[in-house]
Structure 1
Amino acid sequence: MPSDVEYSPVGEGLGMRDFWLYVWLRRVSVMAAHVTGLGLTLIISRLSRPGTSLFSWHPVCMSVAYCLCMTEGILLYSAEGSPFCFKSRKGKVRLHWLCQALVLIAAGTGLGFVVASKNVSELRHLVSWHSLLGSCTLAASLLQAACGVTLIFHKQLHLSSSLPRLKLYHATCGLVVYLLATVTVMSAMFSDWFQAMVKGVTWWAYLLLPLFPALVVMNQITNAYLPRRKMSS
């Protein structure tokens, strides 16, 4: 059954494709999102001093998973400012899957370290908002990965929904997972561990930093996958 949903490339749905200022602003914002994701990963890794304790590896693994790999896995589809803009669609899909696989591996490793750390210290699990949000983010990441599998094996699974609709659902759920991950990262900055090392204006800057790539990702997905009714001639 043909779908009544049409997908527009980034920016075209807003009718702003021909404005050079808009194009350059998008390029700058996407490149800034790349830098922000990498910068957050490096900052958190430096603050955690990996190797000093079991827990020290938890922030490193989680920042690599969600600040770096998940961000890059989504932004590589951006038409402006992506370092993978020269790749074919098939190549981008493969890179996307590689990034998302690294997300699950790094997040699972980070979960293992924090569980081991709490067991050694004899501390209770899931007693903070950060831990609860983190558990929801991990569960949502697994469900989103399973949803992505259905796109690859769409024909073999004989699903009733059309492939464009499945792509729309996958992108929408992916946005929800990314925003949930952003909230989880921000909640970590309210922990005693983070506030003991970062204070004052710097803390506020770090708190707001994850919002920038989240806004860029939200804009990219909504512009690329926002459904619109086909116009009848």
Structure 2
Amino acid sequence: MSTNSPSSTTAITMLLYLIRATGAIFPIYVGYLTKLGSSLFSYHPFFMTVAFTGLMTEAVFMFSEASLAAGRRHSTKITAHWFVLLLVAVAHSLGFASIYINKELNNKPHFTSWHGSVGLVTSVLLWAQLSVGVFAKYPRILSRVMQARTVKANHGLFGMVVFSAGMITIALGLWSTWFQNNASQVVIYSALVLHISLMFIVCKKFIKKYA
């Protein structure tokens, strides 16, 4: 039985709202930092932070007490979850395409840094998760080989891995030459704490639900 009092639950929910609000503001700050639209590169950090720090965070928290859909029917939350993930796919595609084309135009090698290499792995994992997510929405497809709870648990586990990989990729990007040259140390370490906090909260949420 849960030992959390109503006041502590409210405090935790408010903290989650604060962290997510900061996560929503961060992509806007990145867009300002890159002078969005000034170059092809400027779209990469903006859309990637929109995809992971902003939208994917909302998709993951869609079923929590701090969700913007809190109090809605479960079916409504599932629809909202899918819609937000569709936006994640669009934002990610724009962010990935912008850096890939930018490097091609400037004859620069791809995926040579830790940020780039982990980012590539994250991209592959993201599209794999989006592709097989249909089984979580319609678990009866696999009913002969796997129980619905197991399908949803595996979907949640893989989602946690993808989200964590996204947070790690963004964190590595904070130490890229571009970000180091344009952001203050206060912003860099604050953003690092933000992304580590989001990863920790999501992992704890999954373990609490399925452990």
Superposition TM-score, scaled by structure 1 size: 0.85
Q: 1:16 to 1:47 in 2, by over 3 A?
A: same
Structure with the larger RCO, 1 or 2 (CA within 8 Å, 6+ apart): 1
**147-156 or 113-122: which moved more?**
147-156
Does the 8 A contact of 1:33 with 1:216 survive in 2? no
**171-180 or 31-40: which moved more?**
31-40
Deviation at 1:89, TM superposition (A): 0.2
Q: Which residue number corresponds to residue 34 of structure 2?
A: 48
**209-218 or 91-100: which moved more?**
209-218
Does the 8 A contact of 1:57 with 1:113 survive in 2? yes
SS at match of 2:63: coil
CA distance in 1, matches of 2:145, 2:24: 40
Deviation at 1:145, TM superposition (A): 1.4
Pairing 1:143-158 to 2, within 5 Å after superposition: 143-158=128-143
- Which has more helix, going by share of residues? 2
Deviation at 1:86, TM superposition (A): 2.2
Deviation at 1:157, TM superposition (A): 4.8
SS at match of 2:111: coil
Letter in structure 2 aligned against 1:55 = F
**58-67 or 153-162: which moved more?**
153-162
| Correspondence for 1:130 among 115, 131, 153 | 115
Q: 1:142 to 1:85 in 2, by over 3 A?
A: same
Q: Which residue number corresponds to residue 108 of structure 1?
A: 93
Does the 8 A contact of 2:19 with 2:194 survive in 1? no
Letter in structure 1 aligned against 2:138 = F
**181-190 or 101-110: which moved more?**
101-110
Q: Which residue number corresponds to residue 185 of structure 2?
A: 200
Letter in structure 1 aligned against 2:41 = F
Deviation at 1:114, TM superposition (A): 0.5
| Correspondence for 1:83 among 68, 72, 91 | 68
> Does 2:162 match 1:177?
yes
Letter in structure 2 aligned against 1:145 = L
Deviation at 1:37, TM superposition (A): 1.5
Q: Which residue number corresponds to residue 4 of structure 1?
A: none
SS at match of 1:87: coil
Does the 8 A contact of 1:30 with 1:82 survive in 2? no
Superposition TM-score, scaled by structure 2 size: 0.93
CA distance in 2, matches of 1:212, 1:158: 36
CA distance in 1, matches of 2:24, 2:114: 25
Deviation at 1:201, TM superposition (A): 3.1
CA distance in 1, matches of 2:73, 2:19: 22
Deviation at 1:76, TM superposition (A): 1.6
Q: Which residue number corresponds to residue 163 of structure 1?
A: 148
Does the 8 A contact of 2:140 with 2:148 survive in 1? no
Deviation at 1:180, TM superposition (A): 0.6
Pairing 1:55-70 to 2, within 5 Å after superposition: 55-70=41-56
Deviation at 1:33, TM superposition (A): 2.6
Identity of aligned residues (%): 24
Aligned length: 211
Q: Please provide the CA RMSD for this pair.
A: 1.6
Deviation at 1:24, TM superposition (A): 1.8
Runs (5+) with no aligned partner, structure 1? 1-11, 227-233
Pairing 1:208-227 to 2, within 5 Å after superposition: 208-226=193-211
Letter in structure 2 aligned against 1:73 = A
Letter in structure 1 aligned against 2:17 = M
